[in-house]
């Protein structure tokens, strides 16, 4: 029997409620697929910070780094100044545990929940690979003449060849493996004749960010040409990418991009797939502790009412099992989520699902 130790951070706001449902579904899958999941809860987030004045003790980072996977609810508390918990917990864990990939699948499960006219699940099925350790998020920069009329604020985008290349390599590899060798539906006959079966789009801004994205572009073509001949290389500026997410989402297979562009386009991606109620992501260190989370925040106004949609957290659990190598169990969870989404749910939005948070968890667990 395969056994996994999982760290659980419920966190703030609705985080603990949705994590309860994710665990309910994971346990049902574990039973069915004969797995043992051992959970260790960690008390992190706004309440702990307000109590102890410490966001994340060094010793806890070290402990978390020993788990193969971490399941995270949400970080963000109305009583704590914005930035402290986000940087002090979420970004710190992403950086120190070298979770250099932020993987965000954008998949529409039911056409009813797509805000785009005439788009169906056939049109919306792509993955964004967001670089998760560099770019504008490292905290590099500073003030000069702070508080004066001459004040200068500098925020530096850090792009290392190593950091960019490992991210691009992950994205190519994912594109190659994603459909088990089945060709991506967006290829032209000429692409197929040239031996391509997948596409990777580099999303950048080569026309303005002529240092950072020059490096990205060179690394992209060098890695792709040498090691991934079956993956078609495509490029889109980030502004055009947002336009096409709305107009032609079927043009995308796998997208790779830097930290900030990835942050922005994946919120749009989440809306296109039906909203924050369903969008999940993984902070991946392919060789270490990886952390899975619903993309939405702590939703203070819905906390404790049993109205928040737990499907995003359940999907985060599914991504976690997939990462751990338990693909059949992960697939079963996804199928159950699709079934419930199509057959039982009125809306993916908080308070409008036609069920409580816990009933959604029950429905998915029962559909496994």
Pick the binder of ligand IPM from 27, 61, 84, 86 (CB under 6 A): 86
Three-state secondary-structure class, residue 115: coil
Please state, in angstroms and rounded to a whole number, the distance separating the CA atoms of residues 323 and 330: 9
CA atoms within 13 A on the CB side of 249: 29
Dihedral sign (CA 48, 53, 58, 61) = positive
- Which of Mn ion, ligand IPM, none does residue 203 bind to, with CB < 5 to 8 Å depending on kind? none
With binding defined as CB under 6 A, does residue 334 bind ligand IPM?
no
Instruction: Give the phi and the psi of residue 55 in degrees, each rounded to 5.
Output: -80, -45
- Which of Mn ion, ligand IPM, none does residue 17 bind to, with CB < 5 to 8 Å depending on kind? none
Neighbours of 345 (CB within 10 A): 25
For strand 101-107 and strand 280-284, is the pairing parallel, antiparallel, or unpaired? Answer: antiparallel
Nearest-CB residue for ligand IPM: 86
Instruction: Give the x-and-dash track for 263-282 against ligand IPM (CB under 6 A).
Output: x-------------------
Three-state secondary-structure class, residue 133: coil
Quick one: 199 or 283, whose CB is closer to Mn ion? 283
**CB of 267 vs Mn ion, minimal distance in Å:** 6
**CB of 10 vs ligand IPM, minimal distance in Å:** 16
Quick one: 231 or 319, whose CB is closer to ligand IPM? 319
Using CA atoms, how far residue 77 sits from 233, 280, 297, 319, 357, in Å, is 41, 20, 10, 26, 21
With binding defined as CB under 5 A, does residue 131 bind Mn ion?
no
For Mn ion, how many residues bind (rule: CB under 5 A)?
A: 1
- Which of ligand IPM, Mn ion, none does residue 86 bind to, with CB < 5 to 8 Å depending on kind? ligand IPM
Instruction: Give the x-and-dash track for 23-62 against ligand IPM (CB under 6 A).
Output: ----------------------------------------
Residue 77 · residue 50 · CB < 8 Å: yes
For ligand IPM, how many residues bind (rule: CB under 6 A)?
A: 4
Residue 288 · residue 96 · CB < 8 Å: no
In the chain, % helix, strand, coil (3-state, to 5) comes to 45, 20, 35
Query: Which among 29-37, 99-107, 257-265, 344-352 is the span making contact with Mn ion, rule CB under 5 A?
Result: 257-265
With binding defined as CB under 5 A, does residue 263 bind Mn ion?
yes
Quick one: 263 or 326, whose CB is closer to Mn ion? 263
Sites of contact with ligand IPM (CB under 6 A): 86, 90-91, 263
Sites of contact with Mn ion (CB under 5 A): 263
């Amino acid at each position: 029997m395969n056994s996994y130790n999982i760290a659980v951070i419920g966190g703030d706001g609705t985080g603990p409620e949705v994590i309860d449902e994710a665990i309910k579904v994971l346990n049902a899958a574990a039973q069915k697929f004969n797995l043992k999941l051992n959970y260790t809860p960690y008390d992190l987030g706004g309440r702990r910070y307000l109590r102890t004045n410490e966001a994340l003790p060094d010793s806890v980072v070290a402990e978390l780094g020993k788990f193969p996977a971490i399941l995270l609810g949400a970080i963000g508390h109305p009583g704590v100044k914005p930035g402290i918990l986000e940087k002090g917990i979420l970004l710190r864990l992403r950086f120190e545990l070298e979770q250099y990939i932020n993987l965000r699948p954008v998949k529409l499960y039911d056409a009813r929940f797509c805000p785009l006219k005439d788009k169906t699940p056939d049109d919306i099925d792509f993955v964004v690979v967001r670089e998760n350790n560099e770019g504008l998020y490292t905290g590099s920069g500073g003030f000069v003449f702070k508080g004066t009329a001459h004040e200068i604020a500098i925020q530096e985008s850090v792009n290392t060849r190593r950091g960019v290349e490992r991210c691009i390599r992950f994205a190519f590899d994912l594109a190659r493996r994603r459909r088990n060798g089945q060709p991506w539906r967006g290829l032209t006959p000429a692409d197929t004749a040239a031996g391509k079966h997948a596409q990777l789009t580099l999303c950048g801004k080569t026309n303005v960010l002529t240092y950072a994205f020059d490096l990205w572009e060179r690394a992209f073509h060098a890695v792709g040409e040498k090691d991934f001949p079956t993956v078609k290389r495509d490029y889109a500026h980030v502004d055009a990418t947002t336009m096409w997410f709305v107009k032609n989402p079927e043009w995308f297979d796998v997208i790779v991009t830097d930290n900030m562009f990835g942050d922005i386009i994946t919120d749009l991606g989440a809306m296109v797939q039906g909203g924050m109620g369903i969008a999940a992501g993984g902070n991946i260190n392919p060789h270490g502790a990886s952390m899975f989370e619903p993309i939405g925040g702590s939703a203070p106004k819905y906390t404790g009412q049993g109205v928040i949609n737990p499907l995003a957290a359940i999907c985060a659990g599914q991504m976690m099992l997939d990462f751990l190598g338990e693909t059949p169990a992960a697939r079963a969870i996804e199928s159950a989520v699709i079934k419930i989404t199509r057959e039982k749910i009125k809306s993916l939005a908080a308070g409008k699902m036609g069920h409580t948070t816990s009933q959604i968890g029950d429905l998915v667990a029962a559909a496994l």
